[in-house]
Amino acid sequence: MRKAVAFTGPSNSGKTTIITKVASMLIPNFKVAIIKNDPKDKAIFDIEGKDSYKFFQTGAEVVVTSPTRTTYFSHRHKELDAIIKMIEDFDYLLVEGLKTLPLPRIGVFRSAVDESYFAYIDAVAIDESVDTSSIPSNITILDLNNPEMIIEWIEKHAKEV
């Protein structure tokens, strides 16, 4: 059974940190895949001057393979279903961003909650700096500093894909 969940929130809220912690805790017992959205298209792949960088700069689809891994670089947008088919072998899929995807979603916030996310999230992962009074009762409150609690929520609420 493959499960997927998404994390969303403003820049520097801790999304990457909590996804990394959750993935690290799941990996000893499960196969984990992570998809990160780059909405501003600012990610830089590989290092200038390396062969894979030169290949990617041509505009081609590039696959780099080695004895321990395979990396795929694409210039084409792929929908979630197509990405899932490419990855295929996972137990948990953790998605950072893509707030309109139809996945159970955890909003990640520090200092303050951005209420514009409420329409897209099922839970919030926050620390003690956040005032919880504005969070609607239908949104579960999770401790951002307790990845075990977040994994428990994921196990119960993640979507089968």
| 112: in domain | yes
Report pLDDT for 90. Answer: 95
Q: Is residue 132 part of a domain?
A: yes
- Give the pLDDT score at 100: 78
Determine the structural domain holding residue 109 and report its residue range. 3-37+78-160
- List, in order, residues 6 or more apart from 10 with CB less than 8 Å away: 109, 114
The CA–CA distances, whole Å, from 17 to 11, 37, 95, 129, 130 equal 12, 15, 13, 17, 18
What's the one-letter identity of residue 140? T
Q: Please indicate, yes or no, if residue 104 is contained in any of the structural domains.
A: yes
Kindly state whether residue 73 falls inside one of the protein's structural domains.
no
pLDDT score recorded for residue 142: 98
Please report whether residue 85 resides in a domain.
yes
pLDDT computed for residue 156 by the predictor: 97
Give the CATH number, domain containing residue 126.
3.40.50.300
Predicted pLDDT at 50: 83
Given this model, what pLDDT does residue 123 score? 98
Q: In this structure, is residue 53 part of a structural domain?
A: no
DSSP lists the bridge partners of residue 33 as 93
Q: Are 150 and 106 in contact (CB under 8 A)?
A: yes
| 42 in a structural domain | no
Residue 146 lies in a domain: yes
Could you give the number of structural domains in the chain? 1
Task: Look at residue 65 in the predicted model and tell me its pLDDT.
Answer: 85
pLDDT, residue 56, reads 86
pTM of the predicted protein model: 0.88
Per-residue pLDDT 10s for the chain (161 aa) are 899 999 999 989 999 999 999 999 999 999 999 998 877 777 766 788 888 888 888 888 888 888 888 888 888 888 888 888 988 899 999 999 877 788 999 999 999 999 999 999 999 999 999 999 999 999 999 999 999 999 999 999 999 99
